[in-house]
Amino acid sequence: MASIVVDGLVVPVSVAGHPALDFCNTRAGWGAPAPKEYLHTYAHLSVWARENGLIEPSTMPALRRAAARDPDAAAQVVARAVAFRSALYAVLVGPGAGWDWDAVNREVQAAAAGSALGSAPPVRLPASWRLVDQSQVDLPLMAVAWSAADLLTSTAAAYVAACPGAGCGWVFADPKGRRRWCSMAWCGNRNKARRHAERLRQATARR
Ligand SMILES: [Zn+2]
C-alpha cells in the first residue's frame, strides 16, 4: 500500500480497478493488530471521493460549507462510511457466514432513495443515475455506496483478491487470477526484501 498527498491530505493511491475496491483500501492492515487508517475526517472522505471520480470537483465548496455548518453531521457521515467500508470488505473477501447485507444495504438503499434517472445536456440516451442533491453532507458516502452496488452486481465482484503483504490486505480486481500484490513496487518488493534478509540470516546462522 502507498499514499500520496492531495490538498495537504494523505490519501491512498488507487490501484484496485474499481472505486468501490479502492474505497476498501482507505484502510490497510485488515486483520492486523495496528491497521492504517486514511479516512480520518470529512475532508479526507470528500477529497478521496473527488480524486476517485465519484463526486464532481464542483460540489466540493458546497460540501465544505455543509460540513462547516454541521460538524457533528459530517463526523457522523465519516463514522457511517467507516462502518460501511467494513461491511463491504467482509462481503468482498470474508467468508459468507460473516456477511452483513443489512449494513451494506443501509447505505445502498439511502443512495438509491437519493438518486434519479437523468441525462446531462445535450439530452440523449442512455440516461444515467445521478444523486439528486449534490450539496448534502452525505454525498461522498452515497456516491461510494452507489459505486459499491455497481461492483457487487457485476461479474467483477467474483474476481476480487486481497494482497497478502504484511500489514496490507488491500483488495483489487483480479479476473485472470494472476495478480498477487496490490503493487509489485510496494508489497511485492517488500516481500522480496524480507525473503532476501531471511536467507542472509539463515546463511549467517549456518556459518
Ligand atoms: Zn499490498
Please give the model's pTM, rounded to 2 decimal places.
0.91
pLDDT at 158: 92
Compute the average pLDDT of residues 53-62.
Answer: 96
pLDDT tens digit string along 63-78?
999 999 999 999 999 9
Tracing cell 473527488 back to the chain, one arrives at 50
Residues measured by CB to lie within 5 Å of ligand 1, the ion: 163, 165, 168, 170, 182, 187
Q: How confident is the model at residue 202 (pLDDT cuts 50, 70, 90)?
A: confident
Check: CB of residue 137 under 8 Å from CB of residue 63: yes
pLDDT at 193: 85
Cα(30) to centroid(ligand 1), Å? 11
pLDDT at 104: 96
Mean pLDDT of the chain: 93
Mean pLDDT lowest for which of 8-12, 20-24, 57-61, 98-102? 98-102
Cα(78) to centroid(ligand 1), Å? 24
* β-strand partners of 6: 9
Cα(125) to centroid(ligand 1), Å? 40
pLDDT value at 41 more than 80 = yes
Cα(32) to centroid(ligand 1), Å? 13
Cα(99) to centroid(ligand 1), Å? 23
pLDDT value at 170 more than 80 = yes
Tracing cell 539463515 back to the chain, one arrives at 202
Cα(29) to centroid(ligand 1), Å? 9
Buried b (16+ CB within 10 A) or exposed e, 170-196: bbbbbeeeebebbbeebbbeebeeeee
Cα(60) to centroid(ligand 1), Å? 30
pLDDT at 128: 87
Dihedral pair phi/psi, residue 8, rounded to 5°: 80, 5
Q: Is the peptide bond before 95 cis (omega within 30 degrees of 0)?
A: no
Residue 183, classed as helix, strand or coil, is coil
pLDDT at 190: 86
pLDDT tens digit string along 78-136?
999 999 999 999 999 977 777 899 999 999 999 999 999 988 777 788 898 889 998 99
Q: What percent of the chain has pLDDT over 70?
A: 100
Cα(190) to centroid(ligand 1), Å? 9
Domains by residue range for the chain, with CATH: 3-182 (1.10.3300)
Cα(202) to centroid(ligand 1), Å? 26
For the record, the C-alpha cell of 42 comes out as 470529512
Q: How confident is the model at residue 37 (pLDDT cuts 50, 70, 90)?
A: very high
pLDDT value at 198 more than 90 = no
pLDDT higher at 199 or 59: 59
Cα(65) to centroid(ligand 1), Å? 36
Compute the average pLDDT of residues 32-36.
Answer: 89
Q: How many CB atoms lie within 10 A of CB 95?
A: 7
Cα(188) to centroid(ligand 1), Å? 7
Among the residues of 114-176, which ranges form H helices?
A: 139-152
pLDDT at 95: 76
Among the residues of the chain, which ranges form H helices?
A: 19-24, 42-51, 60-69, 71-93, 101-113, 139-152, 189-206
Cα(87) to centroid(ligand 1), Å? 20
